[in-house]
């Protein structure tokens, strides 16, 4: 039997957008580490954003780049390595390589700098003492194709987060990836990320009516017509990566419902101060 498409009801107008910590509090801490996410929660972030990739032995890990040269000082490729191999690497030292020479620097828990699995991040969110949402981006292209989305939906299902009312949403720049998620979890919120403004006319006829749209703030600034069109179409908008007062003002003018930022404490201060 053919399923009737779900029509997304716009959220009630909020006094301000949700503040989403981009890869954790990544301006201050090494991205995608447990330490970065703990700091983001301590700073008051209302949601956490993460990128996920699949390891060779089938684990979802929070890593942005295909290879590990930037964040773990190795030429290894995530998709060719097992979780145990990744767990031996240091994902935090690159952010502050001189920390060992700073006598006043606080001691760092090695656990907070190791590779972080999606499951561990979900468990932390689930156990937190207030509601926190989770925005999960699947990275493409990848050798595992649709298996990434399948594993994401299965992992969400373990906590009952694959249905309406879930604190999680899944995002991607890949139209195929978002479609896969929606087929497997029809009531889960999804976000179609838009990298370039000129791609929106191509995407517009094929994205679901209830999908959230996620443009970059630089594209909104360079192409004001994109934001105006999304507003006129009644689209819910989540914007990345919002780090300055000027970026935030643009988002407030458009009435976006979420801003994704490297600096959650700073943006919260601008909004609430």
Average pLDDT per 10 consecutive residues for the chain, totaling 273 residues: 46 77 97 97 98 98 97 96 97 77 64 93 98 98 94 98 98 98 98 97 97 98 98 98 98 98 98 90
φ and ψ of 239, to 5 deg = -115, 140
Note the pLDDT of residue 102: 61
Which pLDDT score, from 0 to 100, does residue 4 have? 45
Give the CB-side neighbour count of residue 23, counting CA atoms within 13 A.
Answer: 23
Q: What is the pLDDT of residue 9?
A: 44
* Of residues 167, 38, 41, 179, the one with CA closest to residue 113: 38
What pLDDT was estimated at residue 205?
Answer: 97
Strands 133-138 and 168-172, by their bridges, are parallel
pLDDT digit string, tens, across residues 176-220: 999 999 999 999 999 999 999 999 999 999 999 999 999 999 999
Of the residues 22, 32, 59, 238, only one is catalytic, namely 22
CB distance 118 to 50 below 8 Å: yes
Asked if 22 is an active-site residue, the reply is: yes
Output the six-digit token pair for 230: 């999304």
Single pTM value for the model: 0.92
Q: What is the pLDDT of residue 233?
A: 96
The C-alpha atoms of residue 159 and residue 20 are separated, in whole angstroms, by 21
User: Per the residue annotation, which of 32, 64, 140, 223 is the catalytic one?
Assistant: 64
Kindly list the structural domains of the chain, giving each domain's residue range(s) and its CATH number in brackets, ordered by start.
Answer: 18-272 (3.20.20.190)
The DSSP letter of residue 44 is T
Q: Are the C-beta atoms of residues 241 and 22 closer than 8 Å to each other?
A: yes
């Amino acid at each position: 039997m053919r399923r009737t498409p779900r029509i997304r009801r716009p959220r009630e107008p909020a006094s301000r957008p949700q503040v989403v910590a981009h890869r954790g509090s990544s301006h201050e801490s090494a991205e995608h580490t447990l330490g970065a996410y703990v700091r983001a929660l301590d700073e008051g972030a209302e949601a956490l954003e993460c990128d996920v990739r699949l390891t060779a032995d089938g684990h979802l890990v929070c890593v942005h780049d295909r290879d590990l040269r930037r964040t773990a000082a190795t030429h290894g490729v995530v998709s060719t390595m097992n979780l145990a191999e990744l767990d031996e690497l240091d994902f935090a030292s690159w952010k502050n390589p001189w920390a060992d020479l700073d006598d006043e620097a606080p001691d760092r828990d090695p656990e907070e700098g190791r590779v972080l699995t999606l499951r561990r991040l979900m468990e932390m969110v689930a156990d937190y003492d207030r509601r926190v949402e989770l925005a999960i981006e699947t990275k493409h292209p990848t050798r595992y194709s649709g298996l990434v989305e399948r594993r994401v939906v299965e992992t969400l299902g373990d906590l009952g987060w694959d249905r309406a009312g879930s604190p999680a949403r899944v995002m991607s720049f890949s139209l195929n990836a978002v479609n896969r998620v929606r087929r497997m979890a029809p009531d889960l919120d999804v976000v179609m990320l838009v990298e370039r403004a000129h791609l929106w006319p191509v995407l517009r006829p094929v994205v679901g009516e209830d999908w959230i749209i996620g443009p970059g703030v630089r594209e909104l600034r360079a192409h004001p017509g994109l934001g105006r069109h999304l507003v006129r179409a009644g689209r819910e908008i989540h914007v990345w990566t919002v780090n300055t007062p000027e970026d935030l003002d643009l988002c407030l003018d458009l009435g976006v419902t979420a801003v994704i930022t490297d600096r959650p404490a700073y943006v919260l201060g601008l909004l609430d101060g």
